[in-house]
């Protein structure tokens, strides 16, 4: 499975600083049941593309699940070949500094929205292209989506649920990675690991600043937390509480001016309206009235 990020913002090689990955090196990161390889197919001042190639070992995956007993699903499944929760975990592990907004050498560009194009291969989507657009377009992404038939020999079977997706947006790298981290397993509606209270906290942290306003917020929360009702309800309640607190803060009355200040401002306005008024008329100690 392949995930790439590209920018053409000059100098484009700033992407290497943001990702904490040198464009001239190939790096590998061990993840659950496999390895993530990070390299740059293109790296110059005008265009820079970082690629994360995820290699999952099907045998290691079966051994990892051996405690669950024999199951045919362990041997016949798509997990080693799709950009689902394994890709999400690989992004978090390989690009952890970028996802957390850390950039030692160029901290000034961490919070700068940059023009990015992200591409994902073999993204499984339970809900098809319609769901993909419902998830990403409200976040400002322009999308190019390509699918393939289930079997070219039998077109009547329809299209598969696997898509190659290109996402374009002007956004901070931190937010881009966080949104993908949450939305990839949401597209698949599944995860390869146990979901508990810690996943709720990850959702609240990575979703801060965008998830609470998303029109598909409830669907995202429930899918991300594997439809565990108590966890999903808790997450939605916390988001609702935060929204209410923000609304109350915005609706709070502004601090009233003291009567003494209002009187002084009235005197200032009267003086200004007098014909021939100059600032020099204001006695020493009342210079603030000139403002």
DSSP string, 188-206: HT--SS---HHHHHHHHHH
The backbone region for 93, taken as left when phi is positive above 0, alpha when psi lies in -120 to 50, beta otherwise, is alpha
CATH fold for the domain made of 2-193: c-terminal autoproteolytic domain of nucleoporin nup98 (3.30.1610)
How confident is the model at residue 68, as a pLDDT?
52
Predicted local distance difference test score (pLDDT) of residue 17: 97
Q: What is the DSSP letter of 138?
A: G
Tell me the pLDDT tens digit for each residue of 57-90.
887 777 766 555 445 555 667 888 888 899 999 9
At residue 267, the pLDDT reads: 76
Residues of the chain with CATH 3.30.1610.20: 2-193
Query: What local confidence, expressed as pLDDT, does residue 72 receive?
Result: 59
Whole-number percent of the chain with pLDDT over 70 = 84
Q: Which CA distances in Å does 148 have to 5, 44, 143, 151, 152? A: 23, 33, 17, 8, 8
Rounded distance between C-alpha atoms, residue 140 and residue 215, angstroms: 13
CB neighbour list of residue 99: distance below 8 Å, 6 or more residues apart: 91, 92, 174, 177, 178, 181, 206
Cβ(50)–Cβ(90) below 8 Å: no
The 10s digit of each residue's pLDDT in 198-220 is 999 999 999 999 999 999 999 99
Average pLDDT, the chain: 87
Q: Are 174 and 100 in contact (CB under 8 A)?
A: yes
Q: What percent of the chain has pLDDT over 90?
A: 64
**Paired residues of 215 in beta bridges:** none
Say how far apart CA 230 and CA 221 lie, in whole Å: 11
What are the tens digits of pLDDT across the range 229-254? 999 999 999 998 876 666 655 655 55
Mind listing the pLDDT tens digit for each residue in 172-198? Answer: 999 999 999 999 999 999 888 888 899
pLDDT at 66: 57
Is a pLDDT exceeding 70 seen at residue 290? no
Cα–Cα distance, 185 to 171 (Å, whole number): 21
Determine the longest span between alpha carbons in the chain, in angstroms. 97
Alpha-carbon distance values, 40 to 26, 28, 87, 120, 174 (Å): 8, 13, 18, 15, 19
pTM (2 decimals)?
0.80
Tens digit of each residue's pLDDT (9 = 90 or more) over 103-122: 999 999 999 999 999 999 99
Dihedral angle, C-alpha 37, 38, 39, 40, nearest 10 °: 140
């Amino acid at each position: 499975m392949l995930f790439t990020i590209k920018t053409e913002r000059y100098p484009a090689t700033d992407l290497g600083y943001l990702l904490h990955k040198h464009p001239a090196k190939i790096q590998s990161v061990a993840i659950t049941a496999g390895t993530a390889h990070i390299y740059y197919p293109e790296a110059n001042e005008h265009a820079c593309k970082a690629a994360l190639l995820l290699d999952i070992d099907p045998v290691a995956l079966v051994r990892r699940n051996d405690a669950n007993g024999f199951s045919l699903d362990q041997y016949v499944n798509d997990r080693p070949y799709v950009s689902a929760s394994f890709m999400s975990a690989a992004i978090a592990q390989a690009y952890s500094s970028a996802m957390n907004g850390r950039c030692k050498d160029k901290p000034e560009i961490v919070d700068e929205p940059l023009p990015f194009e992200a591409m994902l291969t073999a993204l499984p989507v339970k809900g098809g292209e319609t769901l993909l657009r419902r998830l990403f377009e409200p976040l400002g992404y322009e999308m190019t989506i390509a699918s393939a038939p289930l079997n070219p020999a039998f077109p009547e079977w329809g299209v598969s649920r696997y898509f190659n997706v290109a996402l374009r947006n002007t956004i901070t790298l931190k937010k881009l990675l966080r949104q993908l981290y949450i939305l990839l397993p949401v597209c698949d509606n599944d995860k390869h690991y146990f979901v508990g209270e810690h996943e709720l906290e990850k959702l609240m942290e990575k979703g801060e600043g965008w998830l609470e306003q998303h029109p598909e917020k409830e669907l995202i929360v429930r899918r991300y937390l594997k439809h565990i009702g108590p966890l999903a309800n808790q997450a939605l309640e916390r988001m609702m509480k935060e929204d209410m607190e923000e609304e109350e803060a915005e609706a709070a009355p502004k601090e009233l001016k003291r009567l003494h200040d209002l009187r002084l401002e009235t005197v200032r306005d009267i003086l200004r309206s007098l014909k021939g008024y100059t600032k020099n008329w204001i006695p020493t100690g009342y210079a603030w009235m000139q403002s």
